[in-house]
Structure 1
């Protein structure tokens, strides 16, 4: 049985799974991403959890095709390093591929987590029939995976698609990256929670903010959410004008808002995309949710991406 280990490293949780070539998740587990631990120790813990899954499935060494790792950027995939992701500061400059090589004598591949998720959506999700699409994840932050002419577009160091830090509205305030009005700073789930909390004068979760806004219970929150939908539309139009995709796939926690988001974004695209064909670009929800990172990370090993 051919399998790959998929590892999806996040700022709060790391998911680990065994994945078959057709994208089926055979077994999975997760660990908290403990930023108080040195990254080398976290890698030891992740590798130990992966080896336990291999043992439980009674796999032979020859069955394991490799290890795929998805992680938030910036990365340096050529060097196999975590570069400077804001949510993984203790990992900055960490040679993650070399660290896993201490545990596994198989090919090990590192890519941006959104890029890996795009590959998963191509393999078994919403973009199976598309040769040109952009996967956009909107959650704690915002990122994208770009698939064009039948291949992933990863860039010189694996950071193509870091759209969270393209400027959408310079009046949107200071982003931690140093620019003003970055897409992520004004339209992510984090941004919604931050702005809603300021409006209500108490801590508000992203879900509660959307629920209150879309139920019509708070006019100020409704204006906030409609502004965020417009910003997401701006981001998608920029992607359409730049990459000419046949499809936009939106995933991440904010996509769970459903039709209010997709209707608003599609409407903005119809009004503002430059090319007439671009104005008709379908915008669809991701088909894969919690397992997208696992499937995509494993697909880095199992497919010729």
Structure 2
């Protein structure tokens, strides 16, 4: 933190100190001075301004140390609010959070289905307005709306997928369309990036800790947090771990490659393998429709978690492919923490954790220097929506690291 604040502007210093308070939960002025490298007088000035802005509050006294007991500081949770929306095929999830990222209102509504993006956005706008009214929060405290989406961000004329109508979200200008309809700043990111920043913000992870979040829904995505911000790449499309090639002679993938993680281990692949066993298909009541892949996968995963041997073998095969991909990512990035998030891990996430942990800590290049922790997200199935709200708070409240950050529109 001291390095970050060297030569920083007043705004950057205020932002960095606010982030220290976020990650600490409860902290004293003395602690802030020790961790930031600033003088006590400088910390006092910053804290005084943050108190005046209503962003933090004094919340009692610290433990006795023989002298005057220090005053404790923490976020003022009601000072700011954010909305997060996760747009997915089965459902759309809305959350309204306070400044700590705590959910104060949540709504699950109709998903994309077969509707056009324009139709979905029109419906979303109406549902969002109703939700904001329902929460009864002060309008001035709502700092923005975050939207989590799967797939490529930023649009463009060249589509990766063959059916332009079916994948109409790829070139659709979500942020611009929403900005024209909603009188709040808007940020749009892929779901894995949102999930990662949700872990960072709500989990009070310090800015010095780098980690990755793997998000599984229909496919796989990876969000990377480094130096207190998500890494986006040159076009905000970093983290397509689902298209890491694991078998050069493997099945064709819609991206144009062969043997991608998605084609070997995603829910659609697991369901396809299960359907080759007619007795298993009948026992589980698999529906065998494309629209039912996610629910069929959930049935297989639940059975695997209960110990059904045929299903356990299928999920362990999927987990092994994911583990191989994460091993390569760990060797590349020297990670010490990987978090598994998203609805795909809801039913059998512990199996994925077990297989990935064993593989990485048996074979990673740095295993003799430090372990790599693989764990399930504590955010639950709403990780992307909660992360989208957290991304808004992160962008608005702690903007001292802006090298990679996408701007909010509005």
Matched, 1:275 2:275: no
Look up the match of 1:108: 186
Q: Which residue of 1 is the match for residue 325 of structure 2?
A: 235
Asked if structure 2 preserves the Cα contact closer than 8 Å seen for 1:237 and 1:269, the reply is: yes
Q: Is the 8 A contact 1:269 1:279 kept in 2?
A: no
Quickly say closer, same or farther: Cα 1:29–1:224, change in 2 above 3 A: closer
In structure 2, the residue matched to 1:10 is: 88
* Aligned-pair Cα RMSD in Å: 2.7
CA distance in 1, matches of 2:278, 2:266: 18
Of 160, 174, 181, the match for 2:259: 181
Q: Which residues of 2 match residues 1-305 of structure 1 at below 5 A?
A: 1-76=79-154, 89-125=167-203, 128=205, 131-200=209-278, 202=281, 204=286, 205-210=296-301, 218=309, 222-255=312-345, 256-277=347-368, 280-304=371-395
**Structure 2: 5+ residue runs without aligned partners?**
1-78, 287-295, 396-404, 406-410
Q: Which has the higher contact order (CA 8 A, sep 6+)?
A: 1
The alignment partner of 1:158 has SS state of: coil
Secondary structure of the residue that 1:225 maps to in structure 2?
helix
TM-score with structure 2 setting the length:
0.66
Change (3 A) 1:84 1:31: farther
More deviation in 161-170 or 206-215?
206-215
Q: 1:225 to 1:68 in 2, by over 3 A?
A: closer
- Structure 1 pair 142–241 and aligned structure 2 pair: CA distance change class (3 A): same
Unaligned stretches of 5+ in structure 1? none
Q: How many residues end up aligned between the 2 structures?
A: 300
Cα offset for 1:258? 4.2
Give how far 1:217 is off: 5.1
Larger radius of gyration: 2
Distance between the aligned counterparts of 2:170 and 2:304, measured in 1? 38
Q: Secondary structure at the match of 2:89?
A: coil
CA change 1:210–1:26 in 2 (3 A) is closer
CA distance in 2, matches of 1:113, 1:61: 26
Shift of 1:288: 0.7
Give me the whole-angstrom Cα distance separating, in 1, the residues matched to 2:333 and 2:303. Answer: 35
**Normalised by the size of structure 1, how large is the TM-score?**
0.87
